[in-house]
Amino acid sequence: MSTPIKALVWGEFRHEKKNPKVAAIYPQGMHETIAGFLRKEPDLQVSTAWLDQPEHGLTKEALASTDVLLWWGHMAHGDVADEVVERVRRRVLEGMGLIVLHSGHYAKIFKALMGTTCSLKWRESTDKERIWNVAPHHPITAGIGDYFEIPAEEMYGEPFGIPTPDELIFISWFTGGEVFRSGATWQRGSGRVFYFRPGHETYPTYHQAQVQRVIANAVRWARPTVCIPDNCPNSAPLEPLPADAEAADRPTEGHR
Amino acid sequence: MSTPIKALVWGEFRHEKKNPKVAAIYPQGMHETIAGFLRKEPDLQVSTAWLDQPEHGLTKEALASTDVLLWWGHMAHGDVADEVVERVRRRVLEGMGLIVLHSGHYAKIFKALMGTTCSLKWRESTDKERIWNVAPHHPITAGIGDYFEIPAEEMYGEPFGIPTPDELIFISWFTGGEVFRSGATWQRGSGRVFYFRPGHETYPTYHQAQVQRVIANAVRWARPTVCIPDNCPNSAPLEPLPADAEAADRPTEGHR
Amino acid sequence: MSTPIKALVWGEFRHEKKNPKVAAIYPQGMHETIAGFLRKEPDLQVSTAWLDQPEHGLTKEALASTDVLLWWGHMAHGDVADEVVERVRRRVLEGMGLIVLHSGHYAKIFKALMGTTCSLKWRESTDKERIWNVAPHHPITAGIGDYFEIPAEEMYGEPFGIPTPDELIFISWFTGGEVFRSGATWQRGSGRVFYFRPGHETYPTYHQAQVQRVIANAVRWARPTVCIPDNCPNSAPLEPLPADAEAADRPTEGHR
Amino acid sequence: MSTPIKALVWGEFRHEKKNPKVAAIYPQGMHETIAGFLRKEPDLQVSTAWLDQPEHGLTKEALASTDVLLWWGHMAHGDVADEVVERVRRRVLEGMGLIVLHSGHYAKIFKALMGTTCSLKWRESTDKERIWNVAPHHPITAGIGDYFEIPAEEMYGEPFGIPTPDELIFISWFTGGEVFRSGATWQRGSGRVFYFRPGHETYPTYHQAQVQRVIANAVRWARPTVCIPDNCPNSAPLEPLPADAEAADRPTEGHR
């Protein structure tokens, strides 16, 4: 446990440039705020990347040296290159952890890993969000207690178009009368995926201690223990088979 | 239960034209053999489609009037148009059932719904496959008993790169020493997905009674009960919210 | 589908005799109210049983002719004989459906099938409950829509001490700020189990149309398709084994 | 991670006294062999207990200072006192890890936590068992590779009467033609449960390196991170409720 966990925080970093309200809350960008609180954790080594960098900052090399990728995107999901999405997906299936934040529910990478619509109800207003811990045994909820509150947040409501999570971690209560599965995990290949709902750009959510704690816990939880590249091998038998009169004609190459 | 279930059997239909061995086993094509035994079931109304038809026979209209789609593909997964794959995926998420057969584990549509590699071990040889029923209570295994055997089949071996199934239905034993999760189900959106392993083109698998029985059972199991198009609505609150000084500036359109 | 589904509604039937408030709402007993609305469904054949009958009305014969058992108990869980609980459990594992209502979360039979604490938060007050449908594709939610409300109900809050459900069907929002997994399913052996939260004895919940609809839907969903008695057989090999010098000394009887 | 994990190996320890064949393989008892290889792991602190000790060696104090309990039992499941089973169950639900070995599938504690029959097929003969790793990303399979073989073992065959595992780890292939879910995990309350198939008393299975490795991995995986005692609290509202005219009559004590 002595080598640090390499976390890469990816931000869309566009709202901050266009909307003064967002810039006031996150002057260096949301990704820098997230990276900032993670950098206080001694076992994490944190870098950042964003949409308008070459290859969105997600080069093969950058991903190869990433243990856990955190993803915040919203207005520009469509601007993320399909080739980069596929590269990230491959790394998750090999073992890299992925933490998808808030509006990232509609990010190409999340939809690609879930296979479903990932749709939901939403409302930007004055709702309070109370996030209930339904998995008090889980490492992601360490130190969180029974629930915590975010004074004002965008509402997300059910039904949420996801496959049944492996583990349901949080359920949110909203003032306006809705509920939402706000924290959930899925194993995808050798990689662990965690979706965490809070974090609309017009609220100071990522400055809140409990939100920071959940995200730091999740980075540790999502740390890979293996890296297993995809393959689909032709395999020799381990037990004797009957003689094969047609052996010479059998394909030994290629599932496509 | 009186309106028939509309099943559409989709076949790649290329091996049959190129390989006389396959043509000898499936003279009208594998899809016609599968459609043929399904047509004997009085509650099913069966049609077929194949790769080299316009839009692969999977037009919007064809899919709109399909309850359950069966998919057999192998050598030409790459020739299936992405646009058609997306159309099928949308129909599954709305409610259409999908049964993926054998080498369809690598079909674009299956990979898109699973989000994972869908890779496996394989060997074309003289293995006997014994398929164990691990879900004797499940409608898909009705009439199947403890196990059944296929005298010769291609081997598929673990690990199989799928998300944890909602229900594991069959596990295969192979002469050469391997095992495989040969039948498994997943809910994806409002649609039911069943993967069923047997059916390599060079063996007469789809002429075997138990294989036919499983597939007919699965069609009934996968029948949709709803059709729910995707949406992601801005939703008004159901309980009173505090006054919203910024209401006029809030977006009410568009999660992308 | 022409033979009727035999539903047996089991009620504790004690509150109704002790508490005039409960008797005013459910003059014939809660079980009779539940049986009453189910009897309006032409495909159901409904009977009732209660705690103070011999063997609690759950004789071997009664259970053998029951397809789906509904269970409401609260103050007298401890008075249910362990032998009867074990008999019910065996029938569920063989295939009988079980619908556990409200305070039945602490019934011996539910705890025995779950293996967990089944504990929760609670408050009897003036909360409104809004029950969100998180599985709009599921037969149990047919006709229910996005959500429904119960004007006043006991609050149950998370964490709920259950194993991860196979399917999460409903999540409740309460005025007082809590959330709860209000509808959930589990396969146990060959039997289907559905837990449904609403129904505290001092509120007229079982007179409400949507609650009645959910319960009727659940009875149909839980209908058994098989009856598989428990066994643990010594099994002869299906493939040749090496010679067994110790064959005569091998036990062929008895896993205990 | 510097405090050691306290593992307690529980053995029935009766076969070893009655059957010279077993005594020859496990002269100090099976539990001592298992404890022996675990003691070589520097991060584990290992003790043992057995059936014929007072309270089966599972006193309140012993359990309170146990992180992970390993359980091997076979012929004498019925001799384990129900009170002790309940005590162990409570500790698992609070957070203690539990590893159930081989014939422990029929132990009272395993059946109590699963809620199902836990039945299976079996045959004591000359089968080779090949154990396939279907979860190569999982900490329990670290260092195990694609598969490993046990030269001779008792056969266990499907269907195995368990609830769908949270994670399926191993599937076994047997010479005689059967398959079995040989490694599986379940979260139960705050505790992690792992079932691992191999280990019949008349074969030297627990002397085999890969079996030892899996068990040591599992002890680390099952280590608790919390201890959460059961409770079912009456909870005050977190948001304003309408006035409650009947407040004085409301119960505030006791879900039973």
Mean pLDDT of D147-166: 98
Residue B44 has what pLDDT? Answer: 98
D228 and A136 within 8 Å at the Cβ level: the answer is yes
B209-222 vs B30-39: helix crossing angle, rounded to 10: 70
Which tokens belong to D11? Answer: 């053995």
Query: Tokens 């540790």, residue?
Result: A220
| H or E element in which residue D10 lies | strand D5-11
C137 and B187 within 8 Å at the Cβ level: the answer is yes
* pLDDT tens digit sequence for C235-247: 999 999 999 999 8
C159 and A172 within 8 Å at the Cβ level: the answer is no
Residue C254 has what pLDDT? Answer: 67
* pLDDT tens digit sequence for C83-116: 999 999 999 999 999 999 999 999 999 999 999 9
Residues 6+ apart with CB under 8 A from D76: D12, D14, D51
β-partners of residue A97 are: A68
Q: Which of A127, A126, A102 is nearest to A178 (CA)?
A: A127
Q: D touches which chains (3+ CB pairs under 8 A)? A: A, B, C
Cα–Cα distance, C35 to C45 (Å, whole number): 9
| H or E element in which residue A111 lies | helix A108-114
Residue B220 has what pLDDT? Answer: 98
Name the residue in chain D with its Cα closest to that of A140: D225
Using a CB–CB cutoff of 8 Å, tell me whether A234 touches chain B.
yes
Cα–Cα distance, B13 to B49 (Å, whole number): 9
DSSP per-residue codes, D204-256: -GGGSHHHHHHHHHHHHHH--S--------B---SS-----TTGGGS--S---
Using a CB–CB cutoff of 8 Å, tell me whether C250 touches chain D.
yes
Neighbours of B249 (CB within 10 A): 11
Along the 256 residues of chain A, how does pLDDT read in single tens digits?
A: 579 999 999 999 999 999 999 999 999 999 999 999 999 999 999 999 999 999 999 999 999 999 999 999 999 999 999 999 999 999 999 999 999 999 999 999 999 999 999 999 999 999 999 999 999 999 999 999 999 999 999 999 999 999 999 999 999 999 999 999 999 999 999 999 999 999 999 999 999 999 999 999 999 999 999 999 999 999 999 999 999 999 888 888 766 5
pLDDT band per the 50, 70, 90 thresholds, residue B78? very high
Q: Beta strand A5-11 with B167-174: parallel, antiparallel or unpaired?
A: unpaired
C-to-D residue pairs, Cβ atoms closer than 8 angstroms: 155
pLDDT band per the 50, 70, 90 thresholds, residue B230? very high
DSSP type of residue C132: E
Alpha helices, DSSP H, located in chain C: 15-18, 20-25, 30-39, 60-64, 82-94, 108-114, 209-222
Whether C150 and C223 have beta carbons less than 8 Å apart is answered as no
Residue D195: strand, helix, or coil: strand
pLDDT band per the 50, 70, 90 thresholds, residue D2? confident
Using a CB–CB cutoff of 8 Å, tell me whether B120 touches chain D.
no
CA distances from A155 to A170, A201, A212, D61, D209 (A): 15, 13, 19, 48, 53
- Using CB atoms and an 8 Å cut-off, which of residues 123-182 of chain A contact chain C? 130, 132-136, 146, 157-160, 164, 166-168, 171-174, 177-179, 181
* pLDDT tens digit sequence for D35-81: 999 999 999 999 999 999 999 999 999 999 999 999 999 999 999 99
- Across chain D, mean pLDDT equals 96
Which tokens belong to D58? Answer: 């599972």
D191 and A137 within 8 Å at the Cβ level: the answer is yes
Residue A43 has what pLDDT? Answer: 98
Which of chain B's residues have a Cβ under 8 Å away from the Cβ of D135?
Answer: 159
Q: Beta strand D147-150 with D179-188: parallel, antiparallel or unpaired?
A: unpaired
DSSP per-residue codes, C226-244: --------B---SS-----
Using a CB–CB cutoff of 8 Å, tell me whether B190 touches chain D.
no
Cα–Cα distance, A104 to B79 (Å, whole number): 31
Q: For residue B242, count CB atoms less than 10 angstroms from its CB and return exposed for 0-12, middle for 13-18, buried for 19 or more.
A: exposed
A176 and B237 within 8 Å at the Cβ level: the answer is yes
Output helix, strand, coil percentages for chain B, rounded to the nearest 5. 30, 25, 45
Which tokens belong to C53? Answer: 């009958």
Q: Choosing among B2, B93, B137, which should be mutated to test the C contact, i.e. which has the most C CBs within 10 A?
A: B137
Report chain A's C-alpha Rg in angstroms: 20
Q: Which of A71, A137, A73, A65 is nearest to A95 (CA)?
A: A65
* pLDDT tens digit sequence for D159-208: 999 999 999 999 999 999 999 999 999 999 999 999 999 999 999 999 99
Which of chain A's residues have a Cβ under 8 Å away from the Cβ of B124?
Answer: 250-252
Q: Choosing among A92, A137, A166, A217, which should be mutated to test the D contact, i.e. which has the most D CBs within 10 A?
A: A137
Residue C1 has pLDDT above 80, yes or no: no
Using a CB–CB cutoff of 8 Å, tell me whether A189 touches chain D.
yes
Mean pLDDT of C123-150: 98
What ipTM was assigned to the predicted interfaces of this complex?
Answer: 0.96
β-partners of residue C155 are: C123
Using a CB–CB cutoff of 8 Å, tell me whether D232 touches chain A.
no
D209-222 vs D30-39: helix crossing angle, rounded to 10: 70
Which of chain A's residues have a Cβ under 8 Å away from the Cβ of D98?
Answer: none
B228 and C136 within 8 Å at the Cβ level: the answer is yes
Cα–Cα distance, B161 to A233 (Å, whole number): 13
Using a CB–CB cutoff of 8 Å, tell me whether A241 touches chain B.
yes
C142 and B191 within 8 Å at the Cβ level: the answer is no
Q: C touches which chains (3+ CB pairs under 8 A)? A: A, B, D
CA-based nearest distance D133→chain B, Å = 7
- pTM here is 0.97
β-partners of residue A183 are: A170, A196
CA-based nearest distance C236→chain A, Å = 20
Mean pLDDT of B33-61: 98
Using a CB–CB cutoff of 8 Å, tell me whether B247 touches chain A.
yes
Whether A33 and A50 have beta carbons less than 8 Å apart is answered as no
Cα–Cα distance, C161 to C116 (Å, whole number): 6
Using a CB–CB cutoff of 8 Å, tell me whether B57 touches chain C.
no
Query: What are the two backbone dihedrals, phi and then psi, of residue C134, each rounded to the nearest 5 degrees?
Result: -100, 5
Output helix, strand, coil percentages for chain A, rounded to the nearest 5. 30, 25, 45
B243 and A126 within 8 Å at the Cβ level: the answer is yes
Q: How long a stretch of residues is chain D?
A: 256
Whether D67 and D6 have beta carbons less than 8 Å apart is answered as yes
Whether A127 and A175 have beta carbons less than 8 Å apart is answered as yes
Which tokens belong to D142? Answer: 């670290």
Whether A46 and A7 have beta carbons less than 8 Å apart is answered as yes
- Across chain C, mean pLDDT equals 96
Which tokens belong to C30? Answer: 């809660």
Q: Choosing among D137, D150, D179, D223, which should be mutated to test the A contact, i.e. which has the most A CBs within 10 A?
A: D137
Residue B251 has what pLDDT? Answer: 83
Residue A253 has what pLDDT? Answer: 76
Cα–Cα distance, D110 to A247 (Å, whole number): 48
Residue A248 has what pLDDT? Answer: 87
Q: A touches which chains (3+ CB pairs under 8 A)? A: B, C, D
Cα–Cα distance, B50 to B29 (Å, whole number): 10
Which of chain C's residues have a Cβ under 8 Å away from the Cβ of D78?
Answer: 256
* pLDDT tens digit sequence for D96-138: 999 999 999 999 999 999 999 999 999 999 999 999 999 999 9
Residue B234 has pLDDT above 80, yes or no: yes
CA distances from B148 to B151, B198, C227, C238, D160 (A): 10, 12, 20, 11, 17
CA distances from A216 to A105, A182, B140, C50, C163 (A): 19, 16, 44, 52, 26
Which tokens belong to D90? Answer: 């409570």
Q: Which residue has the higher pLDDT, C181 or A1?
A: C181
Residue B255 has what pLDDT? Answer: 64
Longest dimension (CA), chain B: 75
Which of chain B's residues have a Cβ under 8 Å away from the Cβ of A184?
Answer: none
Which tokens belong to A31? Answer: 């990704």
The Cα angle at residue D217 between residues D188 and A216, in degrees rounded to 5: 70
Residue D1 has pLDDT above 70, yes or no: no
Query: Tokens 């269970």, residue?
Result: C71
Query: Tokens 């259950």, residue?
Result: C162
Longest dimension (CA), chain A: 75
Cis peptide before D159 (omega within 30 of 0): yes
Which of chain B's residues have a Cβ under 8 Å away from the Cβ of C225?
Answer: 137, 139, 142
Of D136, D226, D238, nearest to A137 by CB-CB distance is D226
Residue B55's identity, in one-letter code, is: E
Residues 6+ apart with CB under 8 A from B103: A255, B72, B73, B74, B199, B200
Residue D253 has what pLDDT? Answer: 76
DSSP type of residue B164: P
Handedness of CA B224, B230, B232, B234 (dihedral sign): negative
Cα–Cα distance, D137 to D167 (Å, whole number): 11
Cα–Cα distance, C166 to C163 (Å, whole number): 9
Mean pLDDT of B216-243: 96
Residue D39's identity, in one-letter code, is: R
Q: Which of A83, A160, A146, A76 is nearest to A116 (CA)?
A: A160
